[in-house]
Structure formats: structure tokens, C-alpha cells
Amino acid sequence: MTEGAPRRPYRGFRNGILGALMLGAAFAGCRTAPPEPPAARPDPLAVRRTFRVVSYLPDYAVRQMRDLDGYGPQWLDRLRLEGVECLILHGVVDPTPAGGIALPWNPAPSNGPVKFSDSDFLQIRNHVQARGIRLGISVGGEGWMNGGTLAKVAADPTTRAAFAAAMARFCAANSMAMIDFDWEYPKTRREEADYGRLIAEVKARVGPSGTAVSVCVGGAEMHGRPHVDEATVRAADRLHLMAYLPPADQKNARMAYLQKHVRYWLDVRRLPPEKLFVGIGFFGRQTGPCTAGRPRHLAYRKIYDAYHPLPGDEAAAGYWFNGIDTVARQVEYAWSQGLGGVFAWDAAQDVTTDRPTGASLQAAIDRTLRRLQHAHPAPAAAGIQ
């Protein structure tokens, strides 16, 4: 470099200055940006799925309430349905040997009057749907099962497919939210396997349209083996546990009886808890001689009208039953175990709307659930599953 020429900055020094400035700017940006808040740890109860409430209404309840008990044409207005998301009509649909469906009014019975008519069905459907309650339909029931027709339909691939298609058409035509199966109970391993195939086929037909499939189950093994196999459990959206009331020798251990059956499904059968729904009986039971005035089972509304039990009572005049406080504990237990919800058997056996709200078992379910949801709010869930 010749003397007198302008000095050029030293390149390394210049680059160092630029680097320092850039680094300083970067640090300045870090200082001005607010720190990321730590991720909140989710409350396991706050993010749980929705806890659902279901109730059943058997076909014979129409004649019982409207005609025999004298509530007349407005009998539906007497039903307590607080908080009920889905009302399942029980005993209305039967399979036919060819895989179709038989309704109480079609074909009309040859040995007597129609006990549940198409106008009864339409009245119930329109009434509950107008109230924002979904409607479901149940297939089966204790001890009758249409002469074993369901077992025969389930065993044959052709009739099984025909029955699934017929149920899908019926549900679509009547905006049914659920199909409930109540086979009490498959007697052989073959019947258990056929039951699973039937549930899976019906679910494949109705599931895409949003109709759920439930299966009624007991709390322990039946006939020396599990009465529903794993295929049935997997295919169903939910299982309805029929642990309504304990037998006489366990009537004073109400919660222990319920917990035993819940633990069977969660611990032994490894059922996801959100698929299990606990049944709450709206009736009383007695072990004495059955007479016209003292039937084996008595609706809770009749127990209330006759004996006026207090909220903490579980027995009156030889009948044991679920009282107001017992029902609250059952709902609390189902919630604490992360179960999918509860269901009532059945809506027609609760006290009617002309009785105090504080006497109603359905109102006790709704009141308890509202308290739990207020303490642990949950996001809304789509669909009925």
C-alpha cells in the first residue's frame, strides 16, 4: 500500500462490528418479546367427554299410565325427563324369521287388541323430539326374545344382513339416534359369536348416519361364560350395565353392589370406561308373597304416593329401592370413574310432574349432574355416542 492512499477498514474488524450489531439486535428482540407462558396442565375432569343421561320407556307403559293409572291422553306430559338426552323405546321392534322387523301394530295381533299402536309411537316420537330429546329403539328384552328369533336371525348371514338393512331403514325414516340390543342372554359360544357379528353388521349400516348402537349387559358371567364376547364389546358404541337393584342379601350394601359390577367391566373385561353406562332402577323390590296388592316389583312413584319416603330412605313397607340420596351417590360414582353416563329403567316409574321435584329420581340425576358439571365444566361432544 502506497503512502497517502486512503485507508480501507480492516475486513475482519468490519465483519466483527456487523456481527456484534446483528447479535445485539437479536438479543434486543429476545428481550422485547414476552416469554411464552408455561403450558397449562389439563384438569382430567375438565377435559373429559360429555357425561350422558338416557332413559327407557317400555311399550306397556303407555297402557299402564294412560289407561290403568288414569293419566289419560296427556300422560306423556306427566313424565319426568329432566336432563335426558335420549329416550329409548323398549319392546317395540322385533325381528322376523326372514330378517325383517315386526312392530306391535304391523302385523296386527290375532289374539287381542293392539297394545302399542302406530299412533302411540308417533305421539311419543313427536313429543320427545319437540322437546329436543333424541329417540332410540330397543330390540329384545328379558326372557322372551320372540321365541329365539333373534338368535336364528343372527346365526344366518342372509337374515342378519336383511335385519341390519331393515333396522337402518326404520331408523332413517324416524330419525332414531340409537339402536339398543337387549338379548338376555346368549346361551352358547356360538350365540355369543353370532351376537357380535350382528352388532357389527348393524353398526356398519347405521353408524355412518350417526346412529349409535348400545348393548345391555349384566355385571357378571352368565351361563358359565361371559354373555357378550369381545367382538360384541368392540362393535358396540356403549354397554348399558343393568345393575339396577341388588338382591335381598345385598340390599343394605347398595354402592358395594354397583361397584362390584362396574369393576368387573373395567378391570376384568378391560372396557374403556367411557363406553360403560350405569343403570339406575326406578322401582322397588320385595321378597314376600306376590299378591294383587303387593307385586314383586313396584314403581317408585307408587312407593312414593303410598309411603312418602324421605330422601335418605332405601326401604319402605318391605320394598327396597333407590332413594334420592342413593341415586345422587350412584351418579357421583359413575362420574368419578370416568364412565360414559347413566340410564334409568324406566321413565314411567318415576314420580310424575304433578309431584314435588324434590321427590323425583330423574330430577335427582339431573341435579347431581349439574352440580358436578358446574365444578368440572366439560367441552360439548358431537353426536350421541
One-letter identity of residue 243 = A
CA distance 227 to 140: 15
The CA angle 102-188-385, to the nearest 5 degrees, is 55
Q: In the prediction, which pLDDT does 247 show? A: 86
- Per the CB < 8 A criterion, the answer to whether 179 and 211 are in contact is yes
Tens place of pLDDT per residue across the chain (385 aa): 433 443 444 444 445 544 544 444 444 444 444 455 444 443 334 444 589 999 999 999 988 999 889 999 899 999 999 999 999 999 889 899 999 998 888 777 766 667 788 999 999 999 999 999 999 999 987 655 555 889 999 999 999 999 999 999 999 999 999 999 999 888 889 999 999 999 999 999 999 999 999 999 987 655 556 688 999 999 999 999 999 998 888 888 889 999 999 999 999 999 999 999 999 999 999 987 888 788 999 999 999 999 999 999 999 999 999 999 999 999 999 999 999 999 999 999 999 999 999 999 999 999 999 999 988 875 555 566 6
Q: What are the φ/ψ torsions at residue 139 (nearest 5 degrees)?
A: -115, 125
pLDDT at position 45: 40
Q: Please give the pLDDT value at position 17.
A: 45
Q: Please provide the DSSP assignment of 3-29 as one string.
A: TTSPPPPPHHHHHHHHHHHHHHHHHHH
3 state SS of 360: coil
- Give me the count of residues in the chain: 385
Q: Which parts of the chain fold into alpha helices (H)?
A: 11-32, 60-63, 118-130, 145-155, 157-174, 189-206, 230-235, 254-263, 300-307, 324-336, 361-375
Q: All 3 cell numbers of residue 350?
A: 318415576
Q: Report which residue type is found at 53.
A: V
pTM: 0.84
Residue pair 88/137 in contact by the 8 Å Cβ criterion: yes
Distance CA 78, CA 61 (A): 12
Structural domains of the chain, with CATH: 52-375 (3.20.20.80)
Alpha carbon distance 12, 29 (integer Å): 26
Residue pair 198/160 in contact by the 8 Å Cβ criterion:
yes
CB 137, CB 92: distance < 8 Å: yes
**Residue labelled with grid coordinates 456481527:** 19
Please give the full DSSP string across 50-87, using - where no structure is assigned: PPEEEEEEETHHHHIIIIIS--GGGGGGG---TT-SEE
Helix, strand, coil % over all residues of the chain, rounded to 5: 45, 20, 35
